[in-house]
C-alpha cells in the first residue's frame, strides 16, 4: 500500500502545493501578531472562517506548525504540584516551532467551560509550561539558543494578550486557540523542517545512512502502539523488515495530510491513478475503465489512518442497463432503470434496506466501511436488517465497489429469501394486508436474477407456475407437480391469514409459516391457520376447498428449503381465491366463485 501510493502520486506530492490547496483549519480562535503586538483575529466555525483572506494566510502558517501526531508533540513532560494539586503539561501544546503556540481552551482555567474547570491548568502553571516548551525546542537541530530565548519572551507576552481577550468571549467547550507571530512563509518552512526532519520517522533508533541518503522506519499505518512501534524480527540479522528514505516519507506525509483533510469523514474514497488532487467532491462521478485505489480513511486522533486499501483494475461505473419491473403482476412496465453501478446500489438500498424510494441514507454503502459505528447503532433499523448487512456487506461491496459479482450471484437467492420473508412478516404485522415492501422486494429479486443469473430463468419459472395455478384454481384442475403445490400453499396461507379481523397481525401468525424448513412443519402451520381463521371462509367457496383438500393429500418430492422462492411467490402474487373485483381489498364477496 505505502509503495503504491508513493509511486502513483509522487509527482503531485513532490512539494506542499497540493496539500496547501485543500488544507483546512480546525474550529477555533486564531491570532496573527505583528511586531508591535497588534493582531488580526480569525474565528473558524464549522470549517469556515470569518475572514477568507486571513484564513488563506494563516492556513499556510498552520501547516508548517502542526505536529505529525499527538505522540510527537513538543515539551510534554513538565509536571508540578501547586497547593497540593499535581498538574501535567502532557500533550497540552500542539505547535512545533518558535513562532507559534497552540493549545485547547479546555486546558486553562478562566477560559475553559465549567465542566472542565477541575481538570484545567492554572494560568501561572501554563505560563511556566510555555517556557518548558521553548526549552524543548533546543533539542531540535537548527535552532540557536539566543533566538529561542528571544521568542520565548515574545510568546509569553502574546499569550497574556490572548488570554485577556478570550476572557471576554463565550467560548465553546473544546476548541483550538492558536497564536502566530507574523513572519515570512520561508521562515516558517525552515523551522518546520527542523521538527519534521527529526520526527518524521516512526523512531530514530534504526535510522541508517546509505549513499548519503537517510533511511528510517515508516510512521504511517505502521504503528501498533507507543510501546511497540513495530514488530522486531527475531530470526534475521536485521530487526526491521522495511525502511523508507527521507524523500519518500515526506511524500507520504503530504498524502496522509491530504487524505485526512479530504477523506477522513467519507465512507470511502476512489482515487484513479491519474487523479489530480484538486479536491474530492464525493460525488458519484462516472469512471470508465480506469485503474483506481479505493480507500477507507479514518481520523486517528487528528491524523489519517487507512483502514482499507484495494487496487481495482479497469473499474467502470457504467453497466449494462438494469431494469426493475413488476413481474408478480405480469407487468412489463419498467419501474426503474439505470446504467450506473451507483444507481443499482441506490435501488438495492432503497428497496431491500430502507423501504423508501426517496431515502437519501445509503445504509448499504455505510455497512461496507463503518458498520460498527453507524449501522449497528442505528435505532431506526430492524435487527434482522442489521444482521443481514453484517452477513452480506462484503459481497455487496465486491459487487458495487469492484464489480466482482461472483459472491453476489452465489448468495443472491439466500439473501433475497431472507429479505422477502422478513419484509412479508413486517408488512403483515404493521401494515395489515399491504404487501408493498415485500412485493417490491420480490420483484427486485426477480430483476436481479434475470440480470445476473439468466441461466436460472427464474422469471419464466414464476410466470409459468402462476399461469398454471390460475388454471388449476379457476377450472378445478388437479395439482400436478411440486412447483404448483408450493405456490398454492402460499396462496392458501395468505388467504387464511387475510381472514383475520385484527388491524395488525402478531409475529407468531406470519413468521412461522414463511420460515418453515420442512414439509411437516409447513402443513402443521397451514392447519393452524385454517383452525384459527377457517370459520370466516364461505363453505361454498369451491376454489379454496378444492385446493386445500388437495394440498393435505399431497406429499411433495422436493424439499421446502429448495422451494422458498415458489412459496414466497404464492404469498405475494395476486390471490386466486378472490374475484378480480375484490382482489385489492382482500375479497369480501363472491367467494363462492
Residue 225 burial (10 A CB sphere; 0-12, 13-18, 19+): exposed
pLDDT 10s digits, 562-577: 888 899 999 899 889 8
- The 10s digit of each residue's pLDDT in 534-548 is 777 766 678 888 999
Rounded distance between C-alpha atoms, residue 252 and residue 471, angstroms? 70
Q: Is the pLDDT higher at 573 or at 218?
A: 573
pLDDT in tens, 378-423: 888 899 999 999 999 999 999 998 889 999 999 999 999 999 988 9
Give residue 204's pLDDT band: very low, low, confident or very high (50, 70, 90). low
Within 498-541, where are the H helices?
A: 507-514, 519-533
* 558 or 590, which is more confident: 558
d(CA 257, CA 355): 39
What are the domain boundaries of the chain? 2-14+199-250, 24-197, 317-456, 466-593
Average pLDDT over residues 65-81: 86
Separation CA 199–CA 194 (nearest Å): 9
Q: Find the length of the chain.
A: 593
Comparing C-alpha atoms, which of 356, 344, 353 is closest to residue 400?
344
Q: Per the structure block, which three cell numbers stand in for 590?
A: 363472491
User: Does 63 or 75 have the greater pLDDT score?
Assistant: 63
Region 39-65: mean pLDDT is 95
Predicted confidence band at 73 (pLDDT cuts at 50, 70, 90)? confident
Mean pLDDT of the chain: 86
- Compute the distance between CA of residue 457 and CA of residue 303 in angstroms, rounded to an integer: 51
At 507 the pLDDT is 58
> Among the ranges 196-205, 222-231, 442-451, which has the highest mean pLDDT value?
442-451
C-alpha dist (Å) from residue 292 to 62, 230, 269: 31, 29, 10
What does the alpha-carbon distance between residue 31 and residue 163 come to, in Å, rounded to a whole number?
A: 11
Out of 79-93, 304-318, 328-342, 424-438, which region has the weakest mean confidence (pLDDT)? Answer: 424-438
The pLDDT tens digits for 2-26 are 889 999 999 999 999 999 998 999 9
| Residue pair 352/441 in contact by the 8 Å Cβ criterion | yes
pLDDT: which is higher, 235 or 84: 84
| Banded model confidence at residue 278, pLDDT cuts 50, 70, 90 | confident
pTM assigned to the model: 0.73
Amino acid at each position: 500500500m505505502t509503495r503504491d501510493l508513493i509511486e502513483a502520486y509522487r509527482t503531485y506530492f513532490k512539494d506542499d502545493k497540493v496539500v496547501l490547496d485543500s488544507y483546512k483549519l480546525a474550529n477555533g480562535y486564531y491570532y496573527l501578531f505583528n511586531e508591535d503586538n497588534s493582531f488580526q483575529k480569525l474565528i473558524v466555525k464549522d470549517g469556515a472562517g470569518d475572514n477568507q483572506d486571513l484564513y488563506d494566510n494563516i492556513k499556510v502558517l498552520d501547516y508548517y506548525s502542526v505536529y505529525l501526531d499527538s505522540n510527537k508533540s513538543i515539551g510534554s513532560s513538565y509536571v508540578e504540584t501547586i497547593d497540593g494539586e499535581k498538574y501535567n503539561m502532557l500533550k497540552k501544546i500542539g505547535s512545533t516551532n518558535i513562532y507559534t503556540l497552540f493549545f485547547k481552551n479546555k486546558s486553562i482555567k478562566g477560559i475553559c467551560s465549567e465542566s472542565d474547570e477541575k481538570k484545567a491548568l492554572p494560568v501561572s502553571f501554563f505560563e511556566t509550561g510555555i517556557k518548558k516548551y521553548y526549552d524543548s525546542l533546543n533539542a531540535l537541530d537548527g535552532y540557536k539558543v539566543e533566538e529561542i530565548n528571544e521568542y520565548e519572551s515574545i510568546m509569553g507576552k502574546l499569550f497574556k494578550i490572548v488570554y485577556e481577550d478570550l476572557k471576554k468571549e463565550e467560548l465553546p467547550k473544546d476548541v483550538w486557540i492558536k497564536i502566530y507571530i507574523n513572519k515570512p512563509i520561508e521562515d516558517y518552512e525552515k523551522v518546520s523542517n527542523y521538527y519534521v526532519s527529526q520526527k518524521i520517522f516512526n523512531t530514530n533508533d534504526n535510522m541508517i545512512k546509505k549513499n548519503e541518503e537517510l533511511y528510517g522506519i515508516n510512521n504511517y499505518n505502521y504503528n501498533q502502539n507507543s510501546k511497540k512501534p513495530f514488530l522486531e524480527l527475531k530470526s534475521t540479522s536485521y530487526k526491521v523488515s522495511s525502511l523508507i528514505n527521507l524523500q519518500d516519507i515526506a511524500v507520504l506525509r503530504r498524502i496522509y495530510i491530504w487524505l485526512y483533510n479530504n477523506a477522513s469523514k467519507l465512507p470511502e474514497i476512489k482515487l484513479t491513478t491519474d487523479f489530480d488532487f484538486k479536491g474530492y467532491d464525493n460525488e458519484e462521478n462516472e469512471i470508465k475503465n480506469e485503474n483506481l485505489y479505493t480507500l477507507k480513511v479514518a481520523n486517528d486522533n487528528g491524523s489519517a489512518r487507512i483502514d482499507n486499501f484495494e487496487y481495482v483494475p479497469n473499474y467502470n461505473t457504467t453497466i449494462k442497463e438494469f431494469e426493475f419491473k413488476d413481474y408478480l403482476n405480469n407487468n412489463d412496465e419498467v419501474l426503474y432503470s439505470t446504467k450506473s453501478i451507483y444507481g443499482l446500489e441506490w435501488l438495492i438500498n432503497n428497496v431491500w434496506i430502507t423501504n423508501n424510494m426517496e431515502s437519501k441514507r445509503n445504509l448499504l454503502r455505510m455497512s461496507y466501511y463503518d458498520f460498527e459505528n453507524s449501522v449497528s447503532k442505528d435505532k431506526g433499523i430492524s435487527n434482522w436488517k442489521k444482521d443481514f448487512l453484517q452477513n452480506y456487506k462484503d459481497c455487496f461491496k465486491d459487487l458495487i465497489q469492484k464489480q466482482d459479482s461472483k459472491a453476489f450471484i452465489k448468495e443472491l437467492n439466500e439473501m433475497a429469501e431472507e429479505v422477502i420473508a422478513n419484509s412479508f412478516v413486517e408488512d403483515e404485522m404493521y401494515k395489515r394486508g399491504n404487501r408493498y415492501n415485500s412485493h417490491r422486494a420480490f420483484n427486485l429479486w426477480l430483476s436481479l436474477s434475470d440480470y445476473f443469473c439468466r441461466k436460472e430463468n427464474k422469471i419464466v419459472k414464476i410466470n409459468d407456475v402462476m399461469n398454471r395455478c390460475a388454471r388449476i384454481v379457476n377450472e378445478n384442475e388437479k395439482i400436478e407437480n411440486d412447483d404448483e403445490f408450493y405456490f398454492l400453499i402460499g396462496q392458501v396461507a395468505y388467504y387464511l391469514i387475510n381472514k383475520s379481523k385484527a388491524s395488525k397481525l402478531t409475529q407468531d401468525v406470519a413468521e412461522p409459516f414463511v420460515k418453515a424448513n420442512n414439509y411437516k412443519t409447513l402443513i402443521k402451520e397451514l392447519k393452524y391457520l385454517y383452525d384459527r381463521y377457517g370459520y370466516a371462509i364461505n363453505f361454498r367457496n369451491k376454489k379454496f376447498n378444492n385446493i386445500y383438500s388437495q394440498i393435505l393429500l399431497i406429499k411433495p418430492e422436493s424439499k421446502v428449503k429448495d422451494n422458498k422462492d415458489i412459496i414466497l411467490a404464492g404469498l405475494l402474487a395476486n390471490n386466486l381465491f378472490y374475484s378480480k373485483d375484490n382482489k385489492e381489498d382482500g375479497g369480501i364477496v363472491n367467494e363462492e366463485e
